[in-house]
Amino acid sequence: MKCAFCDIPEIKAREIAGDELVWAFPTNIPIVSGHTLISPRRCVATYGELTDEERRALEDMRLSVTAALRKAFGAQGFNFAWNDGSSAGQTVPHFHLHVLPRKPGDTGVLKYEPRKFVYRSRERGITPEEELIEVAKMIREGLKSN
């Protein structure tokens, strides 16, 4: 079975930032605009399979991406999440951290309630690639001014 993050060129084209260990890109089914995924380059399914070096790189990338999302989208807060294993709802068997920029007036999850956060309350459409490329560009611009 192909890995969506490793094998689909469209996902690679919307890379925001990365190094030899991790990379970040906008998800194609965002909860809010700017919804970004951070993933290891190495194809591992769960957080527990990451090396200490990959975990440190993931945290460094999380800090950079949140700073960029504050600038690009006016984020005043964030939701961070990952599903660890298929029984927890993980559908892509390649670890990824969801980073959701939040601000007053957002729709969707307005307060953290795990049962509401980890399940979709409504269907979300797939965002056109052109819009995802624009989102990636906005976040890359936010990274440049860090």
Active site residues: 96
Q: Which long-range contacts (CB under 8 A, 24 or more apart) does 73-77 make?
A: 73/33, 73/34, 73/101, 73/103, 73/138, 74/103, 75/34, 75/101, 75/102, 75/103, 76/102, 76/103, 76/104, 77/102, 77/103
Whole-angstrom Cα Rg for the chain: 14
